[in-house]
Amino acid sequence: MWTVRMVITVFTIYEVGVSDALSTGYLMLGSNVKYAFNDRTHLLSIPLQTENGNTTIYFNRSYTVSYNNYLTRPESIDVDYGRKQLYIYDRYTATLQKLNFNPESSNPNLTLTYLHSGLSRGEVKIALDWISNNLYWTDPTFRTVIVQSLRNDGNYKILVFDNVEKPTGIAVDPIHQYLFWSDVGSLPKIERSTLTGSSRKTIVSQGIAYPIALDVDILSSKLYWVDSYRDSVERSNLDGTDRVMIKRLAHSTFLDIQVFSDVILTTDIDINLGGLVRLFNKDTGVDDKGNTIVRSAKMDFLITCVTLYAPQPTTTDHCASSPCENICVSESTRPVCLCAEGFALNIDGRTCSETTGFLHRALVWATTTTLCAADIRGIHDESEYITSNKTCFSNVGSNINWITVDSHDRKIIFADGSDIFAMTLDGVHTKQRITSATETVTGLAALNIIPLPSTMIWINGRLGSYQIKKAHVNGNDIQTIVSFMDLSEPRDLTVDIASQRLYFIDGNALKSVQLDGTKLTAVDGGVANSILPLKLHSYKNHLLVADAGINIDVVSLTNTGSATYTLNTLASVTDICVVDITEQPKQNGPCNANNGNCEHICIPLGIYRECQCSYGFILDSNKETCSSEPLSDNFMYVSDWTHDKVYQVSLINDAVNALDSSTVDAPTGVLYNSITNRIYWGDTTSNYIQSANVNGAGYSVLIDVGAYRAHPDRLAIDDSTGNIYYTAVNTSQLPASFTGIGIVSPNGHHRKLISEGVSPRAVEIDPSKGFLFWTDFGTTPAVLKRAHTDGTNIVKLYSAMVWPNGIAIDRSASALYVTDGYTNIIYRCGYEANTCVQYFSDPGSHLMDIKLLGNYLYYTAWNKLYITKLHKTNSSDIGKFANNAELGRLDSISLYSSTFLPTNFQSQCSNNNGRGNCSTFCHPTPNNFTCGCPDGEQLLPDRKTCPNGGRQKTAVPVPVGSSVLPGSLPGP
């Protein structure tokens, strides 16, 4: 039973100058407290407040929670302020724990609960998604990034397991839906992904050494980290750009970081002072004049981690209704279901079915007569996963001395005397003889095959002349890795492919060497309590060592202290291995190396391969690369929500061409500008409005809507000025977030035109009349609105809709067509209020966007496999095209035909390159025009000129591979 004791400690108030409005919270610290006769761990809770340029820490109102026995070393902590819970990674017990905790309560209910055991004992860090209620953590020894549902305790999933060597720091941004983690392996880096682990990318890789801890400042959209080898506190944008070193402090050893208001709090292990907490201004790095905020007096406690107990930003929780059986991640518009390890998602996208079950990652060991398997987490929690939960097959042999596994087919292959057998781990555990020898099979473990580079490594020779050699599997290119001068009595060897390092037993010692023969060293930590190590197996950043008939020792390759421990319940072990499909990549096939030289898709055909292209591309004459030739007339651009693509569809023969741009990620609105021959689209991953030439070249970012804590939805162009109007939906509940209508000039100037609504979607403009139209499906009821193009004179036109997803405009008839995705009705409306009437119904279709070309309406619907063509006055004249199974849910559309060129190009703003008599923005109105300025500027007294005079806007970052600056004028 947990015993909790409240200890009141008294400190003095300390103040440091910063700049911020009122912010209040509690500084939470984890520390290992040292007493004369007992070690206890404290959680320190200290009130702090930022107001009028000063941060005040109220030490006189702090208290400490002491745990007598169990919680002995919190290495990482995080807080769910809304649910009043504290989450803890305890290094000593290798567990994740939850503490019901409210420092604001006079009688807190301090109930501690285990969440997960069997983590490694190392630099594990945790981070909470307080929206979806999921806990994330890194495990540097298991080489994984993992998420566990806190709604469905016990359901966890490994999100990252490949191309990662030693993940440590981790941070979650549930508002922008980002997960960040650092890798402090041989190639240090910081990576970013979505909260489901997808869209993974390296954002920082140069000039970085040991980024041990991360934190996100959601308010400023910045990523902060501490690098314990560089003695630094650093910051960048969420995409890794605009990197700044905030602080460098020589001889420090930073362990953790937390951003609060205008300050950074870090923990630091000082060899003279012990554990301490430092405070810096998050922008300037100004500290507290050399003094620390919290210091360990006379080495009496070791502060290890820091977090803030304070209100957290909120947004819609799409997981609130528990739509997922295992794990739910709330993304910006919907829940995404994940399945626990050993399970796969069913076709319904919600429930899960067992695949490999609980032994999907298993430690396998043998005695002379028995084979056993247990959850691999048992190497860190023997009592939970091995002592009472192992699976053993007794009397399957009489002299088992060697085992290996086939993780793909889930088989254990073992030598029993002169025979070699195979046995399945799942279902009926039948034993099958593979082959027989004339003598007892021995020594096979001294040969190690590395499939992908087709290399074999073995121990050669005899006492006094032993060597470790390698060669191609065909016997060629024999090389000596370790010579006889460096060997005494080698017994077994194993290879860690990720680090390209060979580990081997030599006498009573463990040694390692690079596969090229360099950097021969003894393994730090040695082998604990081993009489004579005989068998060796590498797994992730572990070495598993079977000694002479006694136990299995587990050696961690990521830690120096307490790096080795013994699994005491495993006795008389003759060999060991691990079942894990990620450790046995399939052997080189025709597509394994460099994707078979195929640009898109490589299809293996026996020993050969065939290159194919993604939908919308054609295979070039070289049979390897792919291209897409855009149409020049009679086409529609459409965004594919399912496949995250933008397609060009012929209005003549249904041919489909994909926009040949790797920057298309999660497209929303699409827009074709016939004057510049460029395609524009919004994106909910980058939150950019971006553009490219129709062949995909000349990519540029017009505006980063994410800078306004919003993502763009639909787009519309004022043909008389070239200005683009778009609907913006906030991605944050913070005050600075933007919801409404924005406008962007061709050279990247931006203006928030209308700031109102909940979920604005469709937008259209009639520049000849000076009117702007848009819908909002987030209000109750949903609405269709009209305003002047400068955002003034807002009028509600219609409100009897639920999901108004699209608007088509018929300028010649001053009419609008509006789709309702809930009722699946198309309304025909005039420009005035209360003129909407039902024009057409398409039951069950889930109507989306709609546009007009000539006399025909074209609309998309998520439940249709095609695009519908409908006459604008004769609803019986209906057809379909683009009936292609490869297309997914089609969303926004933009049409072009030279036969029906847009009319009414001219307005009172058409001259002066669309600026009329204005310096920057010219807005045509019903009877005149008005001028406008970019955000942050006001018109001068002449009501036409902006202070900067419409000069070129500073460019924003462009993804790698683009040579065109965002905001630049389109190329020819």
Q: Note whether 875 and 858 are within 8 A (CB).
A: no
Query: d(Cα 655, Cα 776) in Å, to the nearest integer?
Result: 33
This prediction's pTM: 0.57
Q: What integer pLDDT is reported at residue 834 of this predicted model?
A: 93
Mean pLDDT by 10-residue block, N- to C-terminus, for the chain (972 residues)? 30 30 70 54 75 66 58 83 91 87 69 87 92 95 93 87 87 96 86 91 79 94 90 90 80 86 82 71 70 49 81 91 92 92 92 81 90 89 86 87 81 81 72 60 53 74 83 79 86 80 86 88 63 81 78 75 71 87 68 77 71 86 93 93 86 90 90 93 93 93 93 94 94 85 93 94 94 94 95 95 95 95 95 95 89 95 82 91 74 93 75 91 93 93 88 46 32 29
Distances (CA, A) of 456 to 450, 472, 478, 495: 6, 6, 10, 10
Q: Note whether 781 and 799 are within 8 A (CB).
A: yes
How many angstroms from the chain centroid is the CA of residue 339?
17
Report the 10 Å Cβ neighbour count for 675.
12
| DSSP per-residue codes, 602-617 | EEEETTEEEEE--TT-
Exposed (0-12), middle (13-18) or buried (19+): which is 586, by Cβ within 10 Å? exposed
Query: d(Cα 180, Cα 191) in Å, to the nearest integer?
Result: 6
CA pseudo-torsion sign 735, 738, 739, 740: positive
Report the 10 Å Cβ neighbour count for 520.
14
Which of 102, 47, 131 lies closest to 313 in space, CA to CA?
131
Q: What integer pLDDT is reported at residue 47 of this predicted model?
A: 83
Q: What share of the chain is helix, strand, coil (3-state, %, to 5)?
A: 5, 45, 50
Strand partners, 76: 89
Backbone angles phi, psi at 754, to 5 degrees: -135, 125
On the CB side of 529, CA atoms within 13 Å amount to 12
CA triple 244-250-254, angle to 5 deg: 70
Q: What integer pLDDT is reported at residue 880 of this predicted model?
A: 85
Which of 457, 78, 90 lies closest to 258 in space, CA to CA?
78
Computed on alpha carbons and rounded to an integer, the radius of gyration of the chain in Å comes to 32
Distances (CA, A) of 730 to 392, 502, 705, 739, 786: 55, 52, 10, 5, 21
How many angstroms from the chain centroid is the CA of residue 146?
11
Q: Note whether 152 and 326 are within 8 A (CB).
A: yes
Q: What integer pLDDT is reported at residue 753 of this predicted model?
A: 95
Structure token pair of residue 899: 């036969």
Query: d(Cα 686, Cα 656) in Å, to the nearest integer?
Result: 25
Which of 351, 355, 311 lies closest to 328 in space, CA to CA?
351
Query: d(Cα 107, Cα 59) in Å, to the nearest integer?
Result: 19
Which of 72, 127, 68, 64 lies closest to 94 in space, CA to CA?
72
Query: d(Cα 824, Cα 716) in Å, to the nearest integer?
Result: 23
The residue type of 130 is: W
Which of 142, 174, 173, 168 lies closest to 156 in space, CA to CA?
142
Q: Note whether 965 and 956 are within 8 A (CB).
A: no
Which of 6, 107, 5, 104 lies closest to 58 in space, CA to CA?
104
Q: Note whether 125 and 77 are within 8 A (CB).
A: no
The residue type of 402 is: W
